[in-house]
Amino acid sequence: MRDAVAILVGGNAGEVAFTVLGAAVAGRAPLGTRQLLLANLLTDMLPAVAVALARSREQKSGEDPLVGGPASALFGSDLGRILAVRGSATALGAAAAWQCGRMTGRARRASTMRLAALVGTQLGQTFMTDWPSPLVLVTSVASAATLFTIVETPMVSHFFGCTPLGPMAWSVVGTCSAAATLGAAVAPRLLFPRRAPLAI
């Protein structure tokens, strides 16, 4: 339950943060309405549901599954910190790919790269949340394949305000998504070290 909430809310927070940041830099929203709907469809539908339905992982007694420390309430401060990390990672992954696209190609190519990195970063975090689950793996791969197919199919890509990408652009998207995902996985343990259990 907590993982699913973190994925849904954290990912959407990242989309909002990226939209605000992009609007401040470019003077207009970096993602169109159709692109936002597509991103939510690919990240919030099957992958997040798969995490919610996955079998509970075995944890040490009293351990928090999100940060490895003492367990807390469902909507406690620990979850708030994780949402901030996930949202920041999503926004930074998309922003990095967008900036690379702006420096190396046309505006529509940069727009496509930021959308792909936004989705890729969220899917990467979802996979890292519960990678042993076959259902999470299958839905994450299926969503990534759907994104690739949409982007590389000219008429469909144009409908979503995108353009087909070449190997170099996909490499940049993959690198930015992977770096942001890794950062999200490591950051909680560096920023929020384990606290001693509260005395009863």
- In angstroms, the CA 95 to CA 115 distance is 10
pLDDT score for 117: 94
- CA of residue 164 relative to chain centroid, distance: 21
**Mean pLDDT over all residues of the chain?**
78
Tokens 């309405």 belong to residue = 33
Q: What is the pLDDT of residue 177?
A: 93
Q: Which two tokens stand for residue 48?
A: 């997040």
Asked whether residue 164 carries a pLDDT value surpassing 80, the answer given is: yes
Residue 98 and residue 24 in contact, taking contact as beta carbons nearer than 8 Å: no
* Residue 186: partners with Cβ closer than 8 Å, 6 or more residues away: none
Question: What is the rounded CA–CA span in Å between residue 99 and residue 111?
Answer: 10
Q: Transcribe 60-120 into DSSP letters.
A: -TTB-TTTSSB---TTSHHHHHHHHHHHHHHHHHHHHHHHHHHHHS-HHHHHHHHHHHHHH
Whether 75 has a pLDDT exceeding 60, the answer reads: no
Angle at 48 between CA 43 and CA 54, to 5 degrees: 150
Q: What are phi and psi of 57, to 5 degrees?
A: -80, 150
- Record the pTM: 0.78
Amino acid identity of 97?
Answer: A
The predicted structure's pLDDT at residue 197? 41
pLDDT of res. 22: 73
Question: Which residues, in sequence order, are bridge partners of residue 70?
Answer: 63
Sign of the dihedral defined by the CA atoms of residues 28, 34, 37, 38, in that order: negative
Task: Kindly tell me the sign of the dihedral angle through the C-alpha atoms of 188, 194, 197, 198.
Answer: negative
pLDDT at 135 over 90: no
φ, ψ at 135 (rounded to 5°): -65, -40
